[in-house]
Structure 1
Amino acid sequence: MIVGVVDYGVGNVGSVMRALEVLRVTPLLVNRATDMHAADCLILPGVGNFADCVRMLEAGQWITALKEEVVGYNKPLLGVCVGMQLLADSSTEGAVNGEPVKGLGFVSGQVKHLAAMGCQFRVPHVGWNAVNSAQAQDHLFHEIPPETDFYFVHSYAFEAKNAADVIATTQHGITVTAAVRRGHVWGTQFHPEKSSKAGFKVLKNFIEGPSC
């Protein structure tokens, strides 16, 4: 099993690679869009600003390549943090003249600021929060008990168009999407690579799932 970690210029690639090494799988640092095809499944990290991440994806010709691999070849994909947000149709983060920034469109929905969604708690949301799986049958949370804590760092959240695409939630003044799934595409708002044993279990479940 070769797990490709998409390195398009964001800063948390190293921690994802180390987590995969702990799980004793073969991590492949993919730093050219043309090299993605060598991986059996893909992890798309992301930190910082949504619009900046999109610009880096565009500059490296990653968007076309990702769509070819994920849509054309049905390659499993896991987006992490902003990497999950990039799966959406669009985001208000970095919007110009009120025009949302276009995402990959793998999971229908829009990314919005927590305050705009009604959150009155402190933003950014940083720290450990309990996560509950909304769909117990999804293998991403296999053998992970309800109310397990995962590590979050974010100011924006995924508002899915279809409730069925939300497979886990957490609470931060409002109900926040913690994980999404559409077919063979998953995303986690939390950082599994920074979430101790439970986070490593999520990564293991993704890699060992029926789609990979």
Structure 2
Amino acid sequence: MTPATWLCPLPDGGSQEEQALAFDSGRACRLLIVPALFDEGNRLRRFTVEVMRRLDRAGMDSVLPDLPGTNESLSGLPGQDARHWQDAMGAAAQHFRATHALGLRGGCLFTPPLPAFHYAPVKGAQILRGMLRARMLASREAGLEENREALTAAAREDGLVLAGYPLGSALFRDLERLEPATGASVIAQDRIGGSGLWLRAEPDEDAAQADALAALLVEAMQP
């Protein structure tokens, strides 16, 4: 596994270098992985890398790009919107010559137009509901009362910090309506076994789940 870079298009017509993790030996099968979003992305990152290691051993290349505004990106998260993330993943797929795409959870909202797999896909509105719930619980523990309607109105107008992530108004409004595209091969959690790692309190990994997901992908991607 090595760090890699790619040029991400910017809304003003320019471009900016973004980071990725890659197992790239120039092989025929090349999987672009769109990571889970926000805190779920943190909880699934070790699992994602373990799946990539298994694909590498099976003779398949894979790449995990940063969404602009996340991880090592020099862009700010508040300035992102769905169109930019979709364009970014399309550019990453082209740069790394991806033949297939895998979306993880909320990443399924941004898989590029390739033969795609969606692992435990989730609607954007579901992601926001969970983040709003987490904010209200944290506020209550701090002795403050907030309600969903007021928070949602504020987020649509000015953006809002949710679970430590400063979401801009454009991205919040986009996520409210986004659903995973149809046509992808859906991989439900019950095909992997166990409970979803995004439900755990801390980032974790599960060798059996990584084995299962990698095996499904290898079987489906083999020519």
Per the TM superposition, whether the score is higher than 0.5 is no
Higher helix fraction (1 or 2): 2
Higher strand fraction (1 or 2): 1
- Considering Cα pairs closer than 8 Å and 6+ residues apart, tell me whether 1 or 2 has the greater RCO: 2
Tell me the TM-score normalised to structure 2 length. 0.37
Largest Rg, 1 or 2 = 2
Tell me the TM-score normalised to structure 1 length. 0.39
